[in-house]
């Protein structure tokens, strides 16, 4: 049982009613199931059917139709009462039956509850996070990393086979600079100990020095050319810089519970660009413009897409086209999604159009998911590398603050560091994903870390509360009785029933916000239930059992929902 199943049950009954008024009506039960709405106030009903849409085919006024259709719900499963209000048919659910069916369903399905089947047999590739090696991994990457991973998890939950690709920025002139800087001022030990920070420091030093000594730029270009033509020592250094960077990225990813299926970055497509250029020529869509090769897109109101620079080197867009062809060939995707800041929207629109012009009919399976900018208050977060905020510093600071709170509130907690990290990092992720992704956001760390209010810690705390109740209960007893469920119990079950719908909405819109919002709904309903109903202390054994069962269902649903937004589960806080 979920609200989707209930809609289906109601729709079948309504369809019979519609058909009896006019058998010619072509509406299917699935279409009717989509028509139900939730009244703004529970007092008006649990679910409602607006009848305006029927009036054309049934040739009656909506209130008359509502009244006639209400009869078809007589005796329908889970229906307590159907009331006509204007053109609406307001339906009240049979509370006990519904709470029972819903609770039992979650318990029976466990982590499978809420999963959809629309992705079965389909593959999606998602390109996200993708930092540029030797440049800071900063909060600008928070969006692509956590939105990207949420979108991946949502697809996995919907049955898709998912391939997460980290399209690392691991090719380009910055490597020439890094090689020059390393040979002049760096040493192995420093890089091994300092990791990305040491690499970035070398990169910054290169730029500072190059201001006084422009010949450095020429040397860097020469080293990059040598790298491109396969000079062994350069290749070794380049590979090493990348390995060091990936190792460090992986630490941050681990804090978010993220693993990639592929780290094929831009360099991987270096030798795959030649064939792409040939195909572009064969399609007759290239032009030479001041020595460079372009695809003219003026007809589509876009600036031209540059594919080959006048010096013969390929660029970002060429490699993206090569990567798309490679992914289609390798994974035969049904969808290929790219998550980057909105600043790159034009880039994607341009090369998607080029793929279309090349004649690939799958161009419409490519999609770009953009997001807005993020900034964080507080100079304290600025780092040695200038005024960017590194993701790892942000996570470390949040963790430290949570640890401070825990040392005050629950100093004896086992696993304190790991819990503080899950809560601190989770707080940032939760807050970030509470907004429409395209919105620019600015947040204050202290607000994000509050344990009350609509925050990640509040959600984590609620989850831990359910966990501790279950631990004390020592498992879910079997003798639950769902007679005379209270308002809070029913509302909680109703909220749990909406999980698959929240997943579908998040998936459709590419908005993880639908999940954070849903998590808050569950937390509110559960906390109300917790405060109003005796659970462990209830002395009627069968009622105690059903309340433990409901708690267990909450634990399962929250746990699954956390997994969809890169938030770890904390059994104890």
By CB under 6 A, what part of segment 477-516 binds ligand ARG?
none
Minimum Å gap between C-beta 344 and ligand ARG is 7
Q: What residues form DSSP beta bridges with 123?
A: 161
- Rounded distance between C-alpha atoms, residue 416 and residue 120, angstroms: 40
Q: Which stretch binds ligand ARG (CB under 6 A): 129-137, 327-335, 382-390, 459-467?
A: 129-137
Nearer to ligand ARG, 270 or 461 (CB): 270
- Rounded distance between C-alpha atoms, residue 186 and residue 202, angstroms: 7
Please count the other Cβ atoms lying within 10 Å of the Cβ belonging to residue 71: 11
Nearer to ligand ARG, 173 or 454 (CB): 173
Question: Helices (H) and strands (E) in the chain — how many of each?
Answer: 21, 12
φ and ψ at residue 271, rounded to 5 degrees: -85, 5
Name which position in 132, 313, 524, 542 contacts ligand ARG (CB under 6 A). 132
Specify whether the CB–CB gap between 256 and 432 falls below 8 A. Answer: no
Nearer to ligand ARG, 211 or 329 (CB): 329
Minimum Å gap between C-beta 336 and ligand ARG is 10
Which string of x and - marks every residue 108-127 that binds ligand ARG (by CB under 6 A)?
Answer: -------------------x
Specify whether the CB–CB gap between 261 and 330 falls below 8 A. Answer: no
Nearer to ligand ARG, 1 or 339 (CB): 339
Nearer to ligand ARG, 99 or 130 (CB): 130
When asked if residue 170 is in the footprint of ligand ARG (CB under 6 A), the reply is no
Complete DSSP assignment for 276-342 = HHHHHHHTT-EEEETTEEEE--GGGTSPPEEEE-TTS-B-HHHHHHHHHHHHHHHH--SEEEEEEEG
Minimum Å gap between C-beta 232 and ligand ARG is 26
When asked if residue 454 is in the footprint of ligand ARG (CB under 6 A), the reply is no
Name which position in 87, 114, 136, 169 contacts ligand ARG (CB under 6 A). 169
Nearer to ligand ARG, 338 or 526 (CB): 338
By CB under 6 A, what part of segment 429-448 binds ligand ARG?
none
Name which position in 340, 385, 462, 516 contacts ligand ARG (CB under 6 A). 340
337: its two tokens? 């999604």
Residue pointed to by tokens 């991994």: 137
Minimum Å gap between C-beta 181 and ligand ARG is 21
Complete DSSP assignment for 378-424 = -GGG-BTTBSPPBHHHHHHHHHHHHHHHHHHH-TT-TTHHHHHHHHH
- Rounded distance between C-alpha atoms, residue 177 and residue 312, angstroms: 20
When asked if residue 167 is in the footprint of ligand ARG (CB under 6 A), the reply is yes
By CB under 6 A, what part of segment 271-290 binds ligand ARG?
none
Nearer to ligand ARG, 338 or 482 (CB): 338
Minimum Å gap between C-beta 318 and ligand ARG is 11
Nearer to ligand ARG, 46 or 127 (CB): 127
Tell me, what DSSP letter sits at residue 124? Answer: E
Minimum Å gap between C-beta 342 and ligand ARG is 12
Please count the other Cβ atoms lying within 10 Å of the Cβ belonging to residue 381: 17
Minimum Å gap between C-beta 323 and ligand ARG is 6
- Rounded distance between C-alpha atoms, residue 285 and residue 297, angstroms: 10
Nearer to ligand ARG, 127 or 501 (CB): 127
Name which position in 96, 320, 393, 421 contacts ligand ARG (CB under 6 A). 320
Site size for ligand ARG (CB under 6 A): 10
Nearer to ligand ARG, 366 or 433 (CB): 366
Minimum Å gap between C-beta 238 and ligand ARG is 16
Q: Which stretch binds ligand ARG (CB under 6 A): 79-87, 130-138, 394-402, 470-478?
A: 130-138
Minimum Å gap between C-beta 184 and ligand ARG is 26
400: its two tokens? 């430290």
Nearer to ligand ARG, 137 or 182 (CB): 137
Give residues with Cβ within 8 angstroms of 166, minimum separation 6.
127, 128, 129, 130, 249, 260, 262, 263, 265
Name which position in 72, 130, 434, 435 contacts ligand ARG (CB under 6 A). 130
- Rounded distance between C-alpha atoms, residue 159 and residue 345, angstroms: 28
Minimum Å gap between C-beta 426 and ligand ARG is 24
Specify whether the CB–CB gap between 255 and 425 falls below 8 A. Answer: yes
- Rounded distance between C-alpha atoms, residue 238 and residue 267, angstroms: 11
Minimum Å gap between C-beta 317 and ligand ARG is 9
- Rounded distance between C-alpha atoms, residue 517 and residue 74, angstroms: 34
Name which position in 182, 249, 338, 499 contacts ligand ARG (CB under 6 A). 338
By CB under 6 A, what part of segment 191-250 binds ligand ARG?
none
450: its two tokens? 């509050």
95: alpha, beta or left, given left = phi > 0 and alpha = psi -120 to 50?
Answer: alpha
Task: List strand residue ranges (DSSP E) for 30-128, in order.
Answer: 47-50, 79-85, 88-93, 123-127
Nearer to ligand ARG, 83 or 132 (CB): 132
Angle (nearest 5°) at CA 294 between 328 and 364 = 30
- Residue 257's SS3 state is coil
526: its two tokens? 């559960």
- Residue 533's SS3 state is coil
Minimum Å gap between C-beta 452 and ligand ARG is 36
Tell me, what DSSP letter sits at residue 138? Answer: B
Minimum Å gap between C-beta 131 and ligand ARG is 6
Nearer to ligand ARG, 320 or 501 (CB): 320
Nearer to ligand ARG, 62 or 370 (CB): 370
Among candidates 234, 570, 167, 199, which has minimal Cα distance to 368?
167
Minimum Å gap between C-beta 210 and ligand ARG is 22
Question: Which residues of this protein are in contact with ligand ARG, per CB under 6 A?
Answer: 127, 130-132, 167, 169, 320, 323, 338, 340
């Amino acid at each position: 049982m979920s609200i989707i199943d209930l809609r289906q049950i109601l729709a079948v009954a309504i369809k019979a009613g519609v058909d009896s008024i006019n058998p010619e009506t072509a509406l299917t039960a699935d279409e009717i199931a989509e028509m139900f709405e939730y009244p703004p106030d529970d007092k008006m009903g649990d679910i409602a059917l607006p009848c305006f849409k029927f009036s054309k085919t049934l040739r009656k006024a909506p209130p008359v139709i509502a009244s006639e259709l209400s009869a078809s719900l007589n005796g329908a499963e889970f229906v307590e009462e159907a009331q006509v209000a204007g053109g609406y048919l307001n339906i009240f659910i049979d509370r006990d039956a519904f709470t029972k069916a819903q609770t039992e369903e979650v318990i029976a399905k466990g982590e499978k509850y809420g999963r959809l089947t629309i992705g079965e047999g389909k593959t999606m590739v998602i390109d996200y996070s993708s930092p540029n090696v030797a440049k800071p991994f900063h909060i600008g990457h928070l969006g692509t990393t956590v939105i990207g991973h949420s979108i991946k998890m949502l697809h996995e939950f919907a049955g898709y086979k998912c391939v997460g690709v980290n399209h690392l920025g691991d090719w380009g002139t910055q490597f020439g600079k890094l090689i020059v800087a390393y040979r002049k001022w760096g040493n192995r030990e420093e890089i091994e100990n300092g990791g990305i920070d040491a690499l970035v420091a070398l990169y910054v030093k290169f730029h500072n020095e190059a201001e006084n000594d422009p010949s450095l730029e020429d040397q860097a270009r020469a080293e990059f050319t040598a790298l491109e033509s396969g000079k062994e020592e350069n290749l070794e250094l380049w590979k090493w810089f990348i390995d060091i960077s990936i190792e460090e990225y992986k630490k941050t990813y681990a804090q978010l519970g993220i693993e990639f299926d592929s780290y094929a970055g831009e360099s991987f497509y270096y030798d795959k660009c030649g064939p792409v250029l040939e195909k572009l020529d064969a399609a007759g869509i290239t032009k030479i413009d001041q020595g460079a090769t372009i695809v003219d897109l003026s007809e589509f109101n876009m600036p031209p897409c540059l594919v080959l620079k006048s010096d013969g080197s390929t660029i970002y867009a060429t490699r993206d086209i090569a990567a798309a062809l490679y992914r289609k060939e390798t994974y035969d995707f049904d969808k290929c999604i790219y998550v980057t800041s909105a600043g790159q929207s034009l880039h994607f629109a341009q090369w998607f159009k080029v793929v279309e012009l090349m004649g690939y009919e799958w161009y419409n399976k490519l999609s770009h998911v953009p997001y807005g900018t993020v900034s964080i208050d507080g100079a304290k977060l600025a780092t040695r590398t200038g005024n960017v905020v590194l993701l790892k510093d942000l996570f470390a600071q949040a963790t430290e603050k949570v640890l401070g709170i825990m040392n005050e509130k629950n100093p004896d907690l086992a696993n304190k560091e790991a819990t503080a990290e899950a809560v601190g990092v989770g707080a940032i992720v939760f807050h970030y994903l509470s907004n429409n992704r395209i919105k620019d956001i600015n947040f204050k760390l202290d607000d994000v870390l509050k344990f009350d209010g609509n925050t990640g810690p509040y959600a984590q705390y609620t989850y831990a509360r359910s966990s501790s109740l279950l631990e004390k209960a020592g498992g879910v007893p079997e003798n639950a009785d769902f007679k005379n469920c209270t308002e809070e119990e029913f509302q909680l079950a109703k909220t749990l029933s909406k999980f698959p719908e929240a997943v579908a909405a998040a998936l459709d819109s590419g908005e993880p916000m639908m999940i954070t919002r849903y998590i808050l709904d569950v937390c509110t309903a559960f906390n109300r239930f917790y405060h109003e109903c005796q659970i462990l202390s209830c002395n009627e054994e069968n009622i105690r059992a059903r309340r433990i069962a409901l708690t267990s269902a909450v634990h399962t649903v929250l746990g699954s929902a956390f997994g969809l937004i890169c938030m770890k589960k904390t059994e104890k806080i």
